[in-house]
């Protein structure tokens, strides 16, 4: 398995065993966009096409759910795409 060294360092500090697939599944499934959030993210990407080759997603625990933001590194704009109806 190829793993980014920065991610491996974080996993090591959190005590995740890279050879335990259950840990990997947990990490990958912790943050998922639902259909509404995916649609909002796609629209944001279209609006910022040409600004940057990739976008950043910011996930923030809000007690009853996870707040989701998307950021364009090219212009710095951040948009909340959280589907609050799903909370």
In a shared domain, residues 25 and 41: no
In a shared domain, residues 7 and 45: no
Residue 67 belongs to what domain range?
32-87
In a shared domain, residues 59 and 81: yes
Q: pTM of the prediction?
A: 0.64
In a shared domain, residues 22 and 47: no
Half-sphere exposure of 70 (CA within 13 A, CB side): 21
Tokens found for residue 16: 């995740």
Residues 6+ apart with CB under 8 A from 14: none
In a shared domain, residues 48 and 17: no
In a shared domain, residues 36 and 21: no
In angstroms and rounded to an integer, the radius of gyration of the C-alpha atoms of the chain is 15
- Alpha carbons 66 and 83: distance in angstroms, whole number: 9
Grouping H, G, I as helix, E, B as strand and the rest as coil, residue 6 is helix
In a shared domain, residues 62 and 45: yes
Number of domains comprising the chain: 2
What does the DSSP 8-state code read for residue 86?
G
For residue 76, pLDDT beyond 90 = yes
pLDDT tens sequence across 24-41: 444 444 678 899 999 999
In a shared domain, residues 79 and 37: yes
**Torsions phi, psi for 2 (to 5 deg):** -90, 130
pLDDT tens sequence across 6-27: 666 666 766 666 565 454 444 4
In a shared domain, residues 83 and 44: yes
């Amino acid at each position: 398995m190829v793993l980014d060294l920065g991610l491996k360092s974080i996993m090591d500090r959190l005590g995740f065993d890279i050879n335990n697939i259950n840990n990997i599944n947990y990490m990958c499934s912790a943050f998922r966009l639902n259909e509404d959030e995916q649609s909002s993210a796609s629209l944001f990407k279209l609006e910022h096409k040409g600004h940057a080759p990739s976008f950043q997603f910011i996930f923030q625990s809000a007690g009853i759910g996870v707040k989701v933001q998307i950021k364009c590194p090219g212009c710095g704009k951040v948009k909340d795409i959280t589907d609050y109806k799903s909370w």
